[in-house]
Structure 1
């Protein structure tokens, strides 16, 4: 066998195996595809030298997950071992008199103290439950907006970009009822800070007011406030604006999270959960918004930045969380898990979605052509961490056996992809666009029933950034899908690049007839959905509702 043939076979085996084990091979192959044949072979052979290290790193990753799982459940293991030891001693005890003779007063006292210590440790160690009492999503009032056709919408942009944006709108999956601020499209010299502040106030204040009214809480009852917004971060902060508007207490704990992208809502929930572990009997509000007045119109010629004009729309959500056990009976969900994944260490991931300035000095949101590949890698890592927490034992064993077989065999067969539908009943997929929803459905093997809430949310409200997963959940509730005991999985993707998941367990069956239109944006129009999505749609009948904010 010639040296050249041997080298080709080594490259072929490398490519097959890297597809299974290394998420960076896609980037490697895309880069080397532009090189000459000799240079391409050389680069692939360089990757081959590090292939063994990649396998070791992946083994260490799964080993770390196993160790973390053992530590997280160590209390249960200790109790199980103690009970097992006690049961093994029972056959040697002939009667109760024999048991009394074996146990003197000292043994009883020491045993009682040990048992009391275990109970105290368990109570201190056990995390406080976090309940979701209510959610509220922003929906513009009918008297506050007017309709604008797509032709007029794209007509405000440079003529050379009109046809490109029309094609994007045809394939984006958005309908004719989404919202944008009026000044973004009607004025070419509008004041960004002033209009951005008006939009932020409306999108934050109205859901919070609806939450307080529904639950009967007073503003001074709120102990924790977390606000996240990707593009608009003024001074005073967004959380300070809420404190001033509702006159919250002077000792309220506040955070304003900026630049976290479309995946920020689970981050806010995770932060609230951690704070609720430290503060007993507390209420927390998490507000998730985006500000289209700061990024709703890009007027340059960079096509990677024009896409955002066609996707992002006005939207926001507020959720009320608590750790008070007395509120469990009127809460909707209990938080089970939050898993966060950040792949920003790789330059390709870091630059996949970012606010940037083009060559002409015009500001906009730049979406890389690699964004879907980056999102796929982040999703895979997130599922690797989430799977052991929620998958049933049968799926864990199936995956472990497949993974072990792949390591022992030389065929390079792909590992088994667990069926997450066996762990959760409802999945809220981030509405980043039709391509994002399709790709998530393909990775998770979801059917149209699971994807319908996300598709309809994208169609009705567009990409509302971090708040989109709450609009999807509201659709499920308005349709009467959520039953007591169901698990709901929210999964969001955002710049950085991040993939974050939150898993909730339903505490009661949600009655769609009892849904308040001030809280649930679908309550008064759910009978119209689902609608048939035609691709490409007739853009002559499509349009956007322009909102005039009065704050």
Structure 2
């Protein structure tokens, strides 16, 4: 069968002469000059206060060196006469500093995280996927052809994973097999995390689990408490029905809990369950998730203990959540329902990409002032004034978020989602590389995909101390959520990094 061409970005040793049209050197040089002009402007505005203070500091230093003994004695006597004022100011300063230290939000550190890597026998190449779809007998010829085309254009590779229940002939979607999938992925991720951090499960005081479509009783969080014998007073939360952006929501909830409960750990587990949510019908909009969603899970360990700072990987800076549920089109663009034949599945609307763009715009409007340098905010403000007040006919200025972030982890929801983000944020191929490669290697693993992308960046050795990471995810409802992290140190890939044995094969060029 015809498939998308996937090949490593490697240069051939053979030399091939290809006649190309001459480059437009003036345009190239103009672009280079414009780039350096903008970088110079950015540097000037960022350090404007320092540049203005330098002359003042120099003048003060010169005057200080010219003070004689008599001037120093006069200054000392002047302070003695105003001893009460000086004492009062000092006391107020100490009280204010102490109050600030006691009431400020406590830093939240990401000690480590783990992404589950399924066993090799769960891989589902295109051919296996199509053969099993035919054997199941639930799909007509039109649906089979539709799924084949989606697979070829999806950006998924030949090594993604499906649960064991869907490899069986016939498929075995039951409560028992769904529990088995949940235990396999969650316990696998948590086991690796506990091994790498050497944290005693009894020291975990907060547990947040998110899984949209599988909600058994007892809950998934209770399943984890039982497995690892977590302590009796642990604060547990089980988030359901919140879509692919629930991983960021879970981090936000854990962060809030860590402000209340001091000196403890929070365990966040993000996953999705496919076994009972495979669609066995012929409605086209509900067949797309079958082609995109794959097995995955991430376990994240957070801490508010200052003693964990030196061994942690990241510090949480911001979480911004946007809910678009007030709009009916956005609310129904990712919708679980039954088709006319009674088959349950998740329907993806044709309006999904326009909803993503609208939710993204709202989210970055809030996020921008928190992360963008003053130079970008000034350009945005001047553009706004020119358009709204002076009525100039100019395009709205899109802030350059590449000035605020070093790495981007865009939810690998599908090739179209990544393309939309690349276009709207004017990102480069390298910026979206972690997302495209995660989609290719692991598929859409729902809320855990942003962690596989972060693991890819680490495996490539690109994460340096002080680097900022933007995790952004979209989910049903409709929601757009962002988390911003700063690397506490230069991060090396962990022993359990899911990319360890294959990262040298990436990036892969995908031709459709």
Pair 1:140-2:140 in alignment? no
When the two chains are superposed, the root-mean-square deviation of aligned CA atoms in Å is 2.2
Deviation at 1:187, TM superposition (A): 4.4
Pair 1:226-2:208 in alignment? yes
Pair 1:119-2:97 in alignment? yes
| 3-state secondary structure, aligned to 1:329 | coil
Residue-by-residue CA offset, 1:161-189 (whole Å, 9 max, x unaligned): 11111111111110000001132253456
Instruction: Tell me which residue corresponds to 2:35.
Output: none
Pair 1:480-2:461 in alignment? yes
Distance 1:109 1:101, change over 3 A: closer
Q: Distance in 2 between matches of 1:355 and 1:143?
A: 30
Q: Is the 8 A contact 1:227 1:256 kept in 2?
A: yes
Q: Distance in 1 between matches of 2:78 and 2:325?
A: 62
Q: Is the 8 A contact 1:154 1:165 kept in 2?
A: no
Instruction: Tell me which residue corresponds to 1:306.
Output: 287
Instruction: Tell me which residue corresponds to 1:20.
Output: none
Q: Distance in 2 between matches of 1:483 and 1:236?
A: 42
Residue-by-residue CA offset, 1:293-328 (whole Å, 9 max, x unaligned): 122x21212111111110100001011110111111
Deviation at 1:142, TM superposition (A): 3.0
Q: Distance in 2 between matches of 1:300 and 1:151?
A: 15
Q: Distance in 2 between matches of 1:292 and 1:99?
A: 77
Pair 1:129-2:113 in alignment? no
Pair 1:99-2:78 in alignment? yes
Name structure 1 gaps, 5 residues minimum. Answer: 1-86, 536-551
Distance 1:93 1:118, change over 3 A: farther
Pick which of 151-160 and 220-229 moved more: 151-160
| 3-state secondary structure, aligned to 2:508 | coil
| 3-state secondary structure, aligned to 1:132 | strand
Q: How many residues align?
A: 443
- Note the 1:196-211 alignment, pairs <5 A: 196-211=178-193
| 3-state secondary structure, aligned to 1:533 | strand
| 3-state secondary structure, aligned to 2:309 | helix
Deviation at 1:412, TM superposition (A): 4.7
Deviation at 1:124, TM superposition (A): 2.2
- Note the 1:294-333 alignment, pairs <5 A: 294-295=276-277, 297-333=278-314
Q: Is the 8 A contact 1:239 1:254 kept in 2?
A: yes
Deviation at 1:409, TM superposition (A): 3.4
Distance 1:469 1:206, change over 3 A: same
Pair 1:342-2:342 in alignment? no
Residue-by-residue CA offset, 1:233-281 (whole Å, 9 max, x unaligned): 1111110000000000001111000011000111111111111111111
Instruction: Tell me which residue corresponds to 1:194.
Output: 176
Poorly superposed stretches of 4+, deviation over 2 Å: 90-102, 106-113, 141-151, 184-192, 409-414
Q: Distance in 2 between matches of 1:232 and 1:396?
A: 43
Deviation at 1:451, TM superposition (A): 1.1
Deviation at 1:98, TM superposition (A): 3.5
Instruction: Tell me which residue corresponds to 2:258.
Output: 276
Distance 1:177 1:191, change over 3 A: closer
Pair 1:378-2:355 in alignment? no
1:238 to 182, 201, 220: 220
Q: Is the 8 A contact 1:138 1:317 kept in 2?
A: yes
| 3-state secondary structure, aligned to 2:405 | coil
Name structure 2 gaps, 5 residues minimum. Answer: 1-59
